[in-house]
Amino acid sequence: MTLSLLILLLAAFVASVLGMVAAGLVWWFEAHAATQGQVGAASTATATVSLTIPERVRLSGVADMSLGQWPGAGGLTGSQTVCVYSNGDGHYRLTQAGQARLFNGTDSLPYQVYFNDAPSPSGGAALVADTPLVGQTGANTQAADCSQGGPSAAVRVEVSATDLRAARPGAYTGVLTLVAEVE
Protein backbone atom coordinates (compact mmCIF):
# COMPACT_ATOMS: atom_id res chain seq x y z
CA MET A 1 0.00 0.00 0.00
CA THR A 2 1.42 3.35 -0.95
CA LEU A 3 1.71 6.25 1.38
CA SER A 4 -0.66 8.40 -0.65
CA LEU A 5 -3.35 5.66 -0.58
CA LEU A 6 -2.90 5.32 3.19
CA ILE A 7 -3.27 9.09 3.65
CA LEU A 8 -6.38 9.05 1.46
CA LEU A 9 -7.97 6.21 3.48
CA LEU A 10 -7.08 7.92 6.76
CA ALA A 11 -8.59 11.21 5.55
CA ALA A 12 -11.79 9.40 4.48
CA PHE A 13 -11.99 7.68 7.88
CA VAL A 14 -11.52 10.96 9.80
CA ALA A 15 -14.12 12.70 7.63
CA SER A 16 -16.55 9.83 8.26
CA VAL A 17 -16.03 9.99 12.04
CA LEU A 18 -16.36 13.77 12.07
CA GLY A 19 -19.53 13.49 10.01
CA MET A 20 -21.03 11.05 12.53
CA VAL A 21 -20.03 13.28 15.44
CA ALA A 22 -21.51 16.30 13.69
CA ALA A 23 -24.70 14.38 12.96
CA GLY A 24 -24.86 13.29 16.61
CA LEU A 25 -24.38 16.82 17.83
CA VAL A 26 -27.08 18.09 15.50
CA TRP A 27 -29.42 15.36 16.81
CA TRP A 28 -29.00 16.58 20.39
CA PHE A 29 -30.18 20.05 19.47
CA GLU A 30 -33.12 18.99 17.31
CA ALA A 31 -36.52 17.95 18.61
CA HIS A 32 -36.82 14.22 18.46
CA ALA A 33 -39.95 12.91 16.80
CA ALA A 34 -41.22 9.37 16.53
CA THR A 35 -39.67 7.37 13.72
CA GLN A 36 -41.16 4.35 12.03
CA GLY A 37 -39.23 1.19 11.25
CA GLN A 38 -38.57 -0.10 7.75
CA VAL A 39 -39.57 -3.52 6.45
CA GLY A 40 -36.65 -5.90 6.86
CA ALA A 41 -35.15 -8.72 8.88
CA ALA A 42 -35.11 -6.28 11.81
CA SER A 43 -37.01 -3.05 12.21
CA THR A 44 -36.43 -0.25 14.70
CA ALA A 45 -38.83 2.52 15.65
CA THR A 46 -38.37 5.25 18.23
CA ALA A 47 -40.69 7.46 20.26
CA THR A 48 -40.15 10.26 22.74
CA VAL A 49 -41.62 9.56 26.18
CA SER A 50 -42.44 12.56 28.37
CA LEU A 51 -44.45 13.44 31.46
CA THR A 52 -45.15 16.34 33.79
CA ILE A 53 -45.27 16.16 37.57
CA PRO A 54 -47.34 19.07 38.89
CA GLU A 55 -46.70 20.59 42.28
CA ARG A 56 -49.07 19.14 44.89
CA VAL A 57 -49.93 19.71 48.55
CA ARG A 58 -51.60 17.47 51.10
CA LEU A 59 -53.23 18.45 54.41
CA SER A 60 -53.48 15.50 56.82
CA GLY A 61 -53.12 14.49 60.43
CA VAL A 62 -56.24 16.48 61.30
CA ALA A 63 -58.30 15.10 64.18
CA ASP A 64 -61.66 16.01 65.71
CA MET A 65 -61.35 18.52 68.56
CA SER A 66 -63.48 18.34 71.68
CA LEU A 67 -63.32 21.56 73.66
CA GLY A 68 -64.98 19.92 76.64
CA GLN A 69 -67.63 21.35 78.94
CA TRP A 70 -67.59 25.06 79.64
CA PRO A 71 -66.94 25.64 83.37
CA GLY A 72 -68.88 28.93 83.42
CA ALA A 73 -65.91 31.29 83.14
CA GLY A 74 -63.25 32.05 80.54
CA GLY A 75 -63.10 30.86 76.97
CA LEU A 76 -62.44 27.41 75.53
CA THR A 77 -59.47 26.51 73.34
CA GLY A 78 -58.44 23.45 71.39
CA SER A 79 -55.35 22.90 69.26
CA GLN A 80 -53.46 20.27 67.32
CA THR A 81 -50.46 19.88 65.09
CA VAL A 82 -51.15 18.88 61.48
CA CYS A 83 -49.22 17.80 58.42
CA VAL A 84 -49.01 20.05 55.38
CA TYR A 85 -46.92 18.30 52.73
CA SER A 86 -45.62 19.70 49.46
CA ASN A 87 -43.76 17.83 46.74
CA GLY A 88 -42.34 21.19 45.63
CA ASP A 89 -40.61 24.02 47.45
CA GLY A 90 -42.88 23.98 50.53
CA HIS A 91 -44.87 27.11 49.64
CA TYR A 92 -48.66 27.02 49.97
CA ARG A 93 -51.71 29.01 51.02
CA LEU A 94 -54.37 27.94 53.48
CA THR A 95 -58.06 28.89 53.52
CA GLN A 96 -60.79 28.35 56.10
CA ALA A 97 -63.76 27.42 53.92
CA GLY A 98 -66.97 28.92 55.27
CA GLN A 99 -67.80 30.45 58.62
CA ALA A 100 -66.44 29.01 61.86
CA ARG A 101 -69.63 28.24 63.78
CA LEU A 102 -70.89 25.56 66.15
CA PHE A 103 -74.57 24.57 66.16
CA ASN A 104 -76.91 22.92 68.66
CA GLY A 105 -79.89 22.51 66.36
CA THR A 106 -81.45 25.94 66.84
CA ASP A 107 -78.62 28.21 68.01
CA SER A 108 -75.12 28.87 66.75
CA LEU A 109 -71.90 29.90 68.41
CA PRO A 110 -68.95 31.51 66.57
CA TYR A 111 -65.36 30.52 67.11
CA GLN A 112 -62.04 31.84 65.83
CA VAL A 113 -59.51 29.70 63.95
CA TYR A 114 -55.76 30.35 64.08
CA PHE A 115 -53.17 28.75 61.83
CA ASN A 116 -49.44 28.54 62.53
CA ASP A 117 -47.05 27.57 59.72
CA ALA A 118 -44.95 25.82 62.37
CA PRO A 119 -45.93 22.90 64.63
CA SER A 120 -46.56 25.17 67.63
CA PRO A 121 -50.16 25.79 68.77
CA SER A 122 -49.29 29.21 70.19
CA GLY A 123 -49.25 32.21 67.91
CA GLY A 124 -50.37 31.88 64.35
CA ALA A 125 -52.57 34.00 62.14
CA ALA A 126 -56.31 34.45 62.62
CA LEU A 127 -58.12 32.98 59.62
CA VAL A 128 -60.91 34.86 57.88
CA ALA A 129 -63.60 32.80 56.18
CA ASP A 130 -62.92 32.12 52.50
CA THR A 131 -59.82 34.37 52.48
CA PRO A 132 -56.53 32.62 51.68
CA LEU A 133 -53.66 32.99 54.13
CA VAL A 134 -50.87 33.36 51.59
CA GLY A 135 -47.11 33.04 51.90
CA GLN A 136 -46.95 29.86 53.97
CA THR A 137 -43.52 28.27 53.53
CA GLY A 138 -43.16 25.54 56.14
CA ALA A 139 -44.68 22.51 54.42
CA ASN A 140 -43.00 19.18 55.03
CA THR A 141 -41.19 18.24 51.81
CA GLN A 142 -39.89 14.85 52.97
CA ALA A 143 -42.96 12.61 53.39
CA ALA A 144 -46.61 13.05 52.40
CA ASP A 145 -47.75 11.79 55.83
CA CYS A 146 -45.04 13.72 57.73
CA SER A 147 -43.58 10.41 58.97
CA GLN A 148 -40.19 11.97 58.24
CA GLY A 149 -39.66 15.50 59.48
CA GLY A 150 -42.79 15.49 61.65
CA PRO A 151 -45.89 17.71 61.64
CA SER A 152 -45.37 21.03 59.91
CA ALA A 153 -48.18 23.28 61.18
CA ALA A 154 -50.72 23.82 63.95
CA VAL A 155 -54.41 24.72 64.13
CA ARG A 156 -56.05 26.34 67.14
CA VAL A 157 -59.72 27.15 67.74
CA GLU A 158 -61.00 29.51 70.41
CA VAL A 159 -64.51 30.24 71.63
CA SER A 160 -64.58 33.52 73.53
CA ALA A 161 -65.91 33.84 77.06
CA THR A 162 -68.31 36.56 75.84
CA ASP A 163 -69.85 34.24 73.23
CA LEU A 164 -70.03 31.33 75.69
CA ARG A 165 -71.83 33.48 78.31
CA ALA A 166 -74.40 34.56 75.69
CA ALA A 167 -75.02 31.03 74.37
CA ARG A 168 -78.05 28.93 75.29
CA PRO A 169 -77.43 25.56 76.95
CA GLY A 170 -76.86 22.56 74.69
CA ALA A 171 -74.27 20.45 72.92
CA TYR A 172 -72.72 22.38 70.02
CA THR A 173 -70.89 20.86 67.07
CA GLY A 174 -69.64 22.08 63.73
CA VAL A 175 -67.30 21.24 60.90
CA LEU A 176 -64.09 23.14 60.31
CA THR A 177 -62.92 22.90 56.69
CA LEU A 178 -59.36 23.89 55.85
CA VAL A 179 -58.05 23.94 52.28
CA ALA A 180 -54.33 23.90 51.46
CA GLU A 181 -53.37 24.91 47.92
CA VAL A 182 -50.18 25.18 45.93
CA GLU A 183 -48.83 28.71 45.84
> What would the 3-class secondary structure string for 5-71 be?
HHHHHHHHHHHHHHHHHHHHHHHHHCCCCCECCCCCCCCCCECCCCCCCCCCEEEECCCCCCCCCCC
SS3 96: strand
Reported confidence tier of residue 32, pLDDT bands at 50, 70, 90: low
| Alpha carbon distance 112, 163 (integer Å) | 11
Indicate whether 129 pLDDT > 50: yes
Under the banding of pLDDT at 50, 70 and 90, the label for residue 183 is very high
Average pLDDT over residues 30-50: 87
Q: What confidence score (pLDDT) does residue 37 get? A: 87
pTM value? 0.76
In this prediction, residues 123-131 reach a mean pLDDT of: 96
Residue 110 has pLDDT above 80, yes or no: yes
Residue 21's CB: how many other CB atoms inside 10 A? Answer: 10
Whole-angstrom Cα distance, residue 65 to residue 29? 58
- The per-residue pLDDT for 148 is 97
pLDDT of residue 33: 82
The predicted model gives 130-138 an average pLDDT of 97
Contacts of residue 86, Cβ cutoff 8 Å, sequence gap at least 6: 55, 56, 57, 92, 139, 140, 141, 182
